[in-house]
Structure 1
Amino acid sequence: MRSLFSGVAGLKVHQTKMDVIGNNIANVNTVGFKSSSVVFSDVFYQTTQSSSGPNKESDVAGINSKQIGLGAGVSAISKNISGAGGSQATNNAFDCMLTGDSFFITKNAGRTYFTKNGAFTVDADGTLTTSDGAKVQGWQVDPDDKTKTKPGPVSNLNIMAPENMYTDPEATTAAYMSGNIDKTDTQLASGSAGRTFQTNFYDNLGYEYTAKFNMKQSSVSDNAYYIELKDILKDGKSILYTATTNDTGTTEYTATGWGANVTTEKQDLSGVGAPDITDGKLTFADNFAFMAVFDGTTGKFKSLAADGADPAYDSTGLDENAKIKKMFLNIGGKSPNPFKNIEIDFSQMTMFASSTSSKIESTMGDVDGNGKGKMKGTLKGASIDSSGKIYGSYDNGDLKLLAQIAVANFKNPAGLESVGNSNFVETMNSGRFDGVGKDVTSEGGKISTGMLEMSNVDLAAQFTDMITTQRGFQANSRTITTTDSILEELINLKR
């Protein structure tokens, strides 16, 4: 009896569906898992009588065919690739969640895989990897423009390569002075020793230095302040001379060969002369002193006076067409020279009343933050932005582009084949991966960091399918037991 075999076919397909449901439920908390569903179809029919059309000559009507079905089969087991799973916050900087139909690209033992599981980490070589040891693929930094990545064949992302562990130092080329001078401040009075202020800067090797200046009021003008370079220090010691004490207790001073001065224009550093040293006091042979001149009406900074080497300078004769807002600090005289000309801006200073107290501050870089210089940077951490670009953060404040995670898109993502570990491989029906990948934002997607995409299994739907599958299996088993009863009655005919 055909019904016996139809019942068996029904049991098999419902068993297959139950296997799929069981797998879905088992992976309800698997990161990046995509649920599957089963589609049934009827199978081969046995035709006991073929159909025939009406015949007007014989006056016979048409007859439909008579067919007996032989059960059900599995038509398809499809994956719900486009359905997004829930997001889970992990606060791990390397955990990534994709939106859209894109896939992360990984490579393991020479084979390329695609996954939605963004639980990444860094191995001992500094390479971005998945939890199962596959290497995440992406693009490297463009050698011609370090602020961009260069799309091309994907490769391993060695974000902690030796060249990424540090950033180069830079010499300071600009600084500006700020603060307020109270002309009644006795520390700045013309007959006093003056007030010391300093500005810090870096050389090309990343060493930090301090330029020491002295300021005091002009003896003939309340609105002009004499500024004189005093010394250049490193770690609290002058770089312009060394001091040694001989056996008699006398201190001897020896020039190091370095020189320094301040000028109105950039100077060739090789021509900067060394200062004269007398009892530890420096006299800069080719040094220009300046006067900082303020507007006595508004208290605003007015100009630097380049001819203000005389402390008795009178600012009332300042030429309005010769205003100077900046001066250059030049250090040189030896080779190789790691220093650069430093432009010091005084235009941010004011001369307002402040209870006889003055405050002078120096900031590296110009008012826009350019030219501040920096010491060598050591990598302290990394972050990933929404386009998959990976940036390294360094202890000197640098933020450097290290690489970019690329993604893959397929014309038919449901055609990908699952191979375990939340990985997929391409098939003939999924479309081909071009080996280059895409920027995730080019398809309208993005990467969210510190989050993971969880399974897209809908438990309510799975339990409902489980009920219908159980009932379907139960009904098909009744077909078999009923057929068995009929066969039993047939055998009993002989009694």
Structure 2
Amino acid sequence: MIKSMYSGISGMNAQQKKLDVIGNNIANSGTTSFKSSRVTFQDTMRETIGKGSGPVLALGGSNPKQIGMGVNLQSIEVNTGQGSLNPTGRPLDNAIDGSGYFIVGKGSITDKVTVSEDGHITSEETSGNEDSKAMDIYYTRDGEFKRDSLGNLVTPNGYRIMGYAISGGDSVTSIDYSSGKLVVNKVPIEKDGKEVELTAGGELIPLVIPEEIGGKKVSGFTIEKDGLIKATLEGSEVSVIGQIAMASFVNDGGLEGVGQNMYVPGANSGQPLLRPGKGSENEAEAAAYGSIINGMLEMSNVDLAVEFTEMIVASRSFQACSKVITTGDEILQELVNLKR
């Protein structure tokens, strides 16, 4: 009876964890880019009452006699499948159609974030303040971007959207580390009737859509599938501002969620690999990443019908495990009464 009661306790604990996960899935069914989770279980070690034996001349074989000791949590797997894309019509809303994550940062604009030749990110503090830290880098599929009062491209929580600086012709978008300001020069897409060869990569910078570029007011902007941001200036002139950076992971299920729709690399996720910038030597590898769909947001991939069904199953399993405990208690009470 004691073993059955402990098995019932382990079952109640396991089903409670499952209900916790289901409850979180249902609560976030309307959260932008939320990824649902599922729980799997495994049995614990078994008590062997009798060992199995092979067949002999006089007798046939027998199977082992074992009693299970309950259930244990095996894993909480994240479903990284893509959610549906919901059109919003807002020019700063962006959804990723395919694999990949946006890169966001928290820190000073002068904190240099470099990209190595193998596509890995390195953040270092360059502002000269000994008490300051390097920029904290996070990853998200939530493309609900905003502009602050300075034109910085940020998340709803104020984290900076990271991207590549663009150079083309004699112009380049860069950071003036002495003044701590982002310098956005006019990088035309055409010059003298010819298309300008654009180059991006080598360093990540916080992106900004300023009010003016080269003394001309910005009247509008577009974000293309490869993340290239183009601003329309007065006189219908078009200038390239930068390119939104994206990263991928070998095992994105190993990412650790930190809240606010953001993730950090985990021990089993692998290091982030950056999407090559426009004009780089390995630009062809960018085809392996998803496309940025402007004017849309990725919704949660929670299936409420499945979650409600799993919730009923978990609830009934919890009740059954509690019944095992009460039944074991009744039998123990009967044994005590026999002694009396």
Interval containing the TM-score (normalised by the shorter chain) = 0.7 to 0.9
- Match of residue 74 from structure 2: 75
Q: CA deviation at 1:70?
A: 0.9
Cα pair 2:147 2:154 within 8 Å, conserved: yes
Seen in structure 2, the aligned counterparts of structure 1 residues 444 and 101 have a Cα distance that, compared at 3 Å, is closer
Task: Name stretches of at least 5 consecutive residues in structure 2 with no aligned partner.
Answer: 108-134, 171-186, 190-197, 278-284
Q: CA deviation at 1:55?
A: 4.1
Query: What is the CA–CA distance in structure 2 between the aligned matches of 1:153 and 1:50, rounded to whole Å?
Result: 64
Query: What is the CA–CA distance in structure 1 between the aligned matches of 2:295 and 2:79, rounded to whole Å?
Result: 24
Query: What is the CA–CA distance in structure 2 between the aligned matches of 1:159 and 1:408, rounded to whole Å?
Result: 22
- Match of residue 218 from structure 2: 379
- Match of residue 257 from structure 1: none
Q: Does residue 212 of structure 2 align to residue 165 of structure 1? A: yes
- Match of residue 247 from structure 2: 408
TM-score under structure 1 normalisation? 0.54
Residues 268-287 of structure 1: pairs in structure 2 closer than 5 A: none
Of 367, 371, 396, the residue aligned with 2:235 is: 396
Q: CA deviation at 1:61?
A: 3.7
TM-score under structure 2 normalisation? 0.78
Residues 30-69 of structure 1: pairs in structure 2 closer than 5 A: 30-56=31-57, 59-69=58-68
Cα pair 1:4 1:480 within 8 Å, conserved: yes
- Match of residue 126 from structure 1: 151
- Match of residue 192 from structure 2: none
Seen in structure 2, the aligned counterparts of structure 1 residues 438 and 67 have a Cα distance that, compared at 3 Å, is farther
Give the 3-state SS of the residue equivalent to 2:319 in structure 1: helix
Q: CA deviation at 1:143?
A: 4.7
Give the 3-state SS of the residue equivalent to 1:9 in structure 2: helix
Q: CA deviation at 1:87?
A: 2.3
Q: Deviations over 1:125-174 (max 9, x none)?
A: 322111111111111112547442412232211332xxx8234xxxxxxx
Q: Deviations over 1:281-338 (max 9, x none)?
A: xxxxxxxxxxxxxxxxxxxxxxxxxxxxxxxxxxxxxxxxxxxxxxxxxxxxxxxxxx
Give the 3-state SS of the residue equivalent to 2:231 in structure 1: strand
Q: CA deviation at 1:386?
A: 1.5
Query: What is the CA–CA distance in structure 1 between the aligned matches of 2:263 and 2:199, rounded to whole Å?
Result: 26
Q: Does residue 325 of structure 2 align to residue 487 of structure 1? A: no
AA in 2 matched with 1:112? I
Query: What is the CA–CA distance in structure 1 between the aligned matches of 2:199 and 2:267, rounded to whole Å?
Result: 31
- Match of residue 471 from structure 1: 316
RMSD between superposed Cα atoms in Å: 1.9
Q: Identity over the aligned pairs, expressed in percent?
A: 40
AA in 1 matched with 2:269? S
Cα pair 2:100 2:289 within 8 Å, conserved: no
- Match of residue 373 from structure 1: none
Query: What is the CA–CA distance in structure 1 between the aligned matches of 2:266 and 2:251, rounded to whole Å?
Result: 10
- Match of residue 352 from structure 1: none
Query: What is the CA–CA distance in structure 2 between the aligned matches of 1:444 and 1:404, rounded to whole Å?
Result: 14
Query: What is the CA–CA distance in structure 2 between the aligned matches of 1:149 and 1:481, rounded to whole Å?
Result: 71
Query: What is the CA–CA distance in structure 1 between the aligned matches of 2:304 and 2:259, rounded to whole Å?
Result: 21
Cα pair 1:377 1:397 within 8 Å, conserved: no
Per residue, is there more helix in 1 or in 2? 2
Of 70, 87, 111, the residue aligned with 2:136 is: 111
Of 146, 151, 159, the residue aligned with 2:201 is: 151
- Match of residue 437 from structure 1: 275
